[in-house]
Structure 1
């Protein structure tokens, strides 16, 4: 026995001590169970309301926990017929304390979340419960909403393409269920609004993240991006794509460990010749010339698309679109695209329509979004293997909650075969044997291709089975419900986050629904009684056959994903069995050193079809997986360090925008900007401590004219500079006075109220424009800063320094642009308005009644978003009718188009982008209901 094992026997593990410390709280909750049971329905609500009042009066939530949890347990018992076990109360306690509760599959995590959610909702700031997909968000909100309703609390659910009013109401509820993607996108959209009333979220108080490892680790590598379309370069993608298949194998090198592919010298030469022949590379120009940067980028992405991305593994083609597959869950990731032109390269390879690349309007990573919450908690069946990452990145502890009943699953040692052919023969034999005995089998595969290949082998053997992968996602709930029936065979891509338990004997509720839909005349109670009797017999038969058999066909890079698959069996103390069938040709074995093992197997003289089975093999594989996990953690940590630089700047910009939106009057902000611009101009053309003969008076006069809108009559710069004894301070004061006087005149012309609106809108629009440009610059900086390492300089420090300089430039440019735009606006004359009106009418007549392209309805996705996760840009209020330079006419409000309904785009007709909006606002359609 090792020293560590001996110490744990005496002192217990840190996890044991945490569980022990929480036991008195569970006892306090149980002591109040009879009190809660004695309450009437209204009594439950009244007691919850009293707790809410105490919380708002400043009493700590920890003091309210025993009473609150007792009320929630009673509400769950009455509303759902489910009485929470003590271990579920433990889970709720640790979630309230801001930890990750690791609870095995089938231990009732959905119910556990109601306890801390209710307690933290008493503060009145809203609680977010985060799920991995829209189906689970809707299901859990409806299901657990009954518990919250019994306590007098409100529940909301946020899903994509929801009307704004409905979404805002969902966020105002006490408890809001939503997906991680939608929460992140709504945060970004809110920070693109131009009016506080349009914002939907109300802060970030407390969040419970379900499948926390999937969301905060697996999905944390790719940012959420809201983007807008840029130029179309589909012809270039197609032209480059046509050249890649002609390259010889010696023309490139593939590194599977790092998932990278590069051209060799031979490949570069062949490519240059092919590009010249195709007319893409001018004569005399090499791929190494600076002018070839864009072309080299396209060529590299085309090579990656062909050699690293495989159809039916990393993506599928569905309805003429390339849809990515989540490597961890096997789900389709609709609406998500690879960035930097890689998605377009795959579209060219597959011969489908190429969506244009987009520019980033706003982005955030999940790490930085979830760190916005004052308190964060999470639930999953598998978190301990990533405990270090949760602690370091999010400050979250991981607590392993004991199961309600002991786990009865038998986990067998891995079976390692020499070849994939031998492995699959053994898998088919194991499935045939279990199926014959009436034991249900869940077969885990790593890709669609492998799930369909195995399906073909089973069809040849005449074994009936279901396949659950991205192609069959519509039947997901039904397939999972049937997976526990006697002898059922289910082949599935990774089962992470499926959200539905596999129940031995099958799912009663699903079978009742199917029976009633097949025979609507049948009596529901009779149908249920018959099916429950059948289910009891089926369940007993499955238990006698050994419970659910989880058979994995490969090891994943992450132990956590393997544990998730294993955890599907043996829920709630059920019997079960799990086994991994591997071969030396599997990706993990092949990439991470199977040569030594191959030599060992050869030395042992293994026969055809024989497997090596030993605990040492398991340990060796776990070490390989731990190395890969550590490397992936380092990559995510490094990415986060870079993103933190942008995140600090994002917080400043978003806080500034909110401050401007909240302010009734931004005159002081605008005046400060104007005065700073004046000071910068004077410093630029009349440097401090310089002599008058060194001043660039003509340059200053020109800058004053273009930036401040002050002509020689208002600001005779040359005359002022020639005066005896004048210095930079005196000249600056005079320019400030002249600029202030000009703005006072504009205020008189527009009216104070209109001027305040103009200032606010211009300020917000300019901030947004400058922030977009800044994001693009940071992207370019990030792509090249890694090369500084060759010069023995730390790329991260270089990035921080230059990003800060770029941010200073953003602020300087913002002040100058706002000042310049405000200096140039003016009300239009009646003649100009009339002339522009005539021009618009002439354009309409020239169109011959044909309208412009149909505008996108509210809530629809814009074409070809360019980030790895994308969302629709915010619908922002139309800008006021003032222009810089030549003014657009102030729109005249009219009556709405007949039959026009705000919430139904089909009633809007088909107006052109520049036509008046059918709502009657008088604004152009593109600035009103046609705004994305």
Structure 2
């Protein structure tokens, strides 16, 4: 009778849409100047007591009319609902292609009426600049100012950006500007105003995916860079443990064994009598349990040993960690002693050598976990981090805990000095500072619990304006990566022959370049969009929808990228020049557009599943926008990273082989699809735990950070700080006295000497408290 909560909310919003539409005819009759004057009128009404909620219907109607006049775009009713959801401080889940960029102008204009500032948050600077430029005509038509906060700006440019009514910026830049403001020495050096209202585009990427990484501003620490180079030379001499090598890679001598758990109790083994099995089976069992298992010889003599990995270090790709084994520890100590880093007879884990352990762990991670052209690239003699979620480079950003220096040593570039943290904050705690927070994305409903629990945001699913007709084809799974890539090339070739544009999504720069290399060998023309070619991004995206166009892209093309079927008309007109026949250019574009529609629209190919289902859906969402035709398919192999780390590829391979599947053949299977989804759920749960733990740790620091930053701001804003300092000093003295001479305590419980030392240490006051108490009887 009542429907779901989402349906009830949509019905409530639909009633307000009717009120908004009622203003339309009257506003259409106004000239441009009269429509512009509405902004000042709204501000006066707000100042005299009308709330933003009261103003909403007419403000939204004015914003819609301004969009029609400035851009020729009229927000649909469902977009008005999306705007209201944002104003109410919730998340609007809108399918890709439903015009989220335009939707943001509605609540942005409404909240700018208060003159307290509005921040529109995007996942990268390209989108921040693009969206600001795209929507600027609407805002300026309404008399509002627009700014963009970007890295590399001067302090004056930063202040101008944040002084604007609407400010576009990335989540990283906003967070770092906040930290920089709280390191400033005067109020004039600060850029941001009070954090009033934020609209976070691709909110799931920013508030969930990227929330695992805290923002850190660091300064130089006192440490030598030479040690990184010395430790780096030792790592190639170490041998990693490889679990796939079976019994030969485990250090054990028994041929036939009984299994006992580490607490001494026998282990039940399926299909074996008296928990006895042969060595290979025992090894497999121990490997499966991912724990040490004690084994005993079944001969008369008493013999016991532990199944332990052979090799110098183990690698945990899931946790992105590498650990030295017991055997490897001895080898490392020998190598360090030989290199003069460790005194003969000393242990690596002596307290005096803790710095060596720190450097060793960083070097192991650099070599075993972090790969060139996946997690980072080398550009102009520097290590540049690649954002795993956006696929973009992050110049100026560095990994902490010596990892960046270890990678510099590994790649043979100049090693920069290690840094120490000066200021840090998590995205969770930064965005909770806003008076009102909202967000938009195409994929949020699956994470509704986390949004509600951490940010207090409710997800409202907005219906599409036109039905989605994209054909999402089942995944094809191959035994090997080579078979998978052959099938991808075949699919690309078929699409090219029928004039259908293709977007191939890869999870790393390395894979994009591998696929590009195969296409080059076969003389198939294509474009590559990854962190190394980001300068050509706009041009590549503009042409990606042309008939037969082939574009290979990392996650850079996954969010906020609008690929127009037939190519961008605006780009074609600009390229033709002012003297060109615009009708002829438009006619040619229409022919290309119709040809692509006939060929089936944009075809999406995924080269493997990402850790997060939402990122896979974002890639698919580049096709089939606003009712256009399109198709998508993911090609997978048992060698893919997701299957290797979180699935059970060897077992699945064996099952498929027994079922008669040969190399080169593909399989579509519900069982496999469920296994892939389980693997993705494992990753999502693992990452949620990381985010939750990170927030719990930062919450402790956050309470202190808020107090310190508030006190700092008060001191900077004050004309005279004498009274503030005196109050702080008095509070410290009172607390110190209470600590050493508790109120209501007996004389015998007083620590007068301790109070004397505390006063001297904190204030430089040389006073004998015991003597003072003895001489002044009123103190007893």
TM-score by length of 1: 0.73
Kindly provide the CA deviation profile for residues 190-249 of structure 1, in whole angstroms up to 9, marking residues without a partner as x: 222232233222201110011211211121111111221122421000000000001123
Contact 1:496–1:561 (8 Å) recurs in 2: no
Counterpart residue number, 1:541: 595
Matching residue of 1:304: 365
Q: After superposition, give the CA deviation of every residue in 1:107-162 in whole Å (9 maximum; x if it has no partner).
A: 21111100001111112211111122223222222321211122222222222232
> In the superposition, relative to structure 1, how do residues 61 and 682 fare at CA in structure 2: closer, same or farther (>3 Å)?
closer
8 Å contact 2:500–2:600 — kept in the other structure?
Answer: yes
Distance across 2 between alignment mates of 1:378 and 1:665 = 41
Q: Which structure 2 residues correspond to residues 160-171 of structure 1 after superposition, within 5 A?
A: 160-171=151-162
* Partners of 1:455 and 1:427 in 2: CA distance: 12
Check conservation: 1:551, 1:579, Cα contact below 8 A. yes
Q: Which residue of 1 aligns with 2:166?
A: 175
The residue aligned with 2:607 is 553
- Give matches, 1:71-150, under 5 Å: 71-150=62-141
1:48 is matched with 39
Matched, 1:320 2:381: yes
Task: Specify the SS of the correspondent of 1:286.
Answer: coil
**Per-residue Cα deviation, 1:657-709 (whole angstroms, up to 9, x for no partner):** 12222333333333344445656777788896447999659x94x88777656
Q: Structure 1 pair 568/704, CA: closer, same or farther in 2 (3 Å)? A: closer
Give the 3-state SS of the residue equivalent to 1:333 in structure 2. coil
Note closer, same or farther for the CA distance 1:231–1:30 as it changes in structure 2 (3 Å cut).
same
The equivalent of 2:624 in structure 1 is 570
Cα distance in 1 for partners of 2:54, 2:740 equals 66
Please tell me whether residue 373 in structure 1 is matched to residue 434 in structure 2. yes
1:25 aligns with 2:22: no
Match of residue 205, structure 1, among 196, 202, 205:
196
Contact 2:529–2:556, Cα closer than 8 Å, also in 1: no
Query: What displacement does 1:468 show?
Result: 0.8
CA distance in 2 between counterparts of 1:143 and 1:214 reads: 22
The CA distance in 2 between the partners of 1:490 and 1:597, in whole Å, is 32
Asked if the contact 2:611/2:680 (under 8 Å) is kept, the reply is yes
The 5 Å alignment of 1:834-853 reads none
The aligned counterpart of 1:362 is 423
1:334 aligns with 2:395: yes
Structure 2 residue aligned with 1:272? 333
**Aligned-partner Cα distance in 1 for 2:457–2:733:** 49
1:487 to 542, 548, 554: 548
2:143 aligns to what? 152
Paired residues of 1:686 and 1:728 also in contact (CA < 8 A): no
Q: Give the conservation status (yes or no) of the 8 Å contact 1:505–1:535.
A: yes
Partner Cα separation in structure 2 for residue 276 and residue 321 of structure 1? 31
Task: Please state if 1:635 is matched with 2:696.
Answer: no
d(CA) in 2 for partners of 1:262 and 1:220? 26
What's the CA shift string for 1:775-802, capped at 9, x where partnerless? xxxxxxxxxxxxxxxxxxxxxxxxxxxx
Partner of 1:451: 512
For this pair of structures, how many residues does the alignment match? 707
Which residue of structure 1 aligns with residue 245 of structure 2?
none
Q: Is the 8 A contact 2:753 2:768 kept in 1?
A: no
2:560 counterpart residue number:
499
Residue equivalent to 2:186:
195
The answer on whether the counterparts of 1:56 and 1:122 sit within 8 Å (CA) in structure 2 is no
1:262, CA displacement in angstroms?
0.8
Aligned to 2:503: 442
Tell me: CA distance 1:695–1:71, structure 2 relative to 1, closer, same or farther (3 Å).
closer
The equivalent residue for 1:530 is 584
Deviations 1:717-771 (A, max 9, x none): 8985664x53547xxxxxxxxxxxxxxxxxxxxxxxxxxxxxxxxxxxxxxxxxx
Q: Deviations over 1:58-116 (max 9, x none)?
A: 22222211111110000001011111111211211111111111222222111110000
Question: Does residue 221 of the first structure (1) align with residue 277 of the second (2)?
Answer: no
Contact 1:214 1:497 in 2 (8 A): no
Once structures 1 and 2 are overlaid, which stretch shifts more, 94-103 or 70-79?
Answer: 94-103
Deviation at 1:621, TM superposition (A): 1.9
The alpha-carbon deviation at position 387 of structure 1 amounts to 1.8
Q: Contact conserved, 2:480 with 2:663, CA < 8 A, in 1?
A: no
1:458 deviates by 1.2
Could you tell me how far apart the structure 1 residues matched to 2:472 and 2:222 are?
55
Rounded Cα–Cα distance in structure 2 between residues aligned with 1:568 and 1:404: 17
- The verdict on how the C-alpha distance between 1:550 and 1:125 changes in structure 2, with shifts beyond 3 A counting, is same
2:724 aligns to what?
Answer: 669
CA 150–253 in structure 1, closer or farther in 2 if over 3 Å, else same: same
Deviations 1:414-452 (A, max 9, x none): 111111111111111111111111110111111111111
> Does the C-alpha gap of structure 1 residues 674 and 389 become closer, same or farther in structure 2, counting only changes over 3 Å?
closer
Q: Report the equivalent of 1:293.
A: 354
Q: Which residue of 2 aligns with 1:421?
A: 482
Partner of 2:56: 65
CA RMSD of aligned residues (A): 2.4
The CA distance in 2 between the partners of 1:686 and 1:86, in whole Å, is 69
Q: Distance in 2 between matches of 1:44 and 1:693?
A: 75
Kept after mapping to 2: 8 A contact 1:407/1:571: yes
For 2:304, the equivalent position in structure 1 comes to: none
Give the 5 Å matches for 1:747-762: none
* Cα distance between partner residues in 2 of 1:147 and 1:277: 70
State the alpha-carbon separation in 1 of the partners of residues 161 and 149 from structure 2.
6
8 Å Cα contact 1:127/1:174 also seen in 2? yes
Q: Distance in 2 between matches of 1:110 and 1:568?
A: 15
Deviations 1:509-534 (A, max 9, x none): 22222333xxxxx605x1x3222111
- Runs (5+) with no aligned partner, structure 2: 241-310
State the partner residue of 2:284: none
1:407 aligns with 2:398: no
**1:26·1:86 contact (CA, 8 Å) conserved in 2?**
yes
Q: Which moved more, 1:680-689 or 1:659-668?
A: 680-689
Aligned residue for 1:759? Answer: none
Relative to structure 1, the CA distance from residue 565 to residue 721 in structure 2 (aligned partners, 3 Å threshold; closer, same or farther) is closer
Q: Which runs of 5+ in 1 are unaligned?
A: 1-9, 517-521, 730-932
CA distance in 1, matches of 2:477, 2:736: 74
Partner of 1:626: 681
Which stretch of the first structure deviates more once superposed, 30-39 or 601-610?
601-610
Judge conservation of contact 1:481–1:507 (CA < 8 Å) in 2.
Answer: yes
Rounded to whole Å, the distance in 2 between the matches of 1:623 and 1:703 is 58
Structure-2 change in CA distance of 1:381 and 1:488 (3 Å): same
> Given the alignment of the two structures, is residue 611 of structure 1 paired with residue 666 of structure 2, yes or no?
yes
Per-residue deviation at 1:378?
A: 0.8
Q: Distance in 2 between matches of 1:314 and 1:227?
A: 21
Counterpart check, 1:583 vs 2:637 = yes
Say if 1:56 and 1:581 are closer, same or farther in 2 by CA, change over 3 A.
same
Matched residue, 1:784: none
TM-score (structure 2 length as normaliser)? 0.86
Deviation of residue 577 (structure 1)? 0.4
Q: 1:683 to 1:122 in 2, by over 3 A?
A: closer
Which residue of structure 2 lines up, in the alignment, with residue 726 of structure 1?
777
Q: What is the match of residue 431 of structure 1?
A: 492
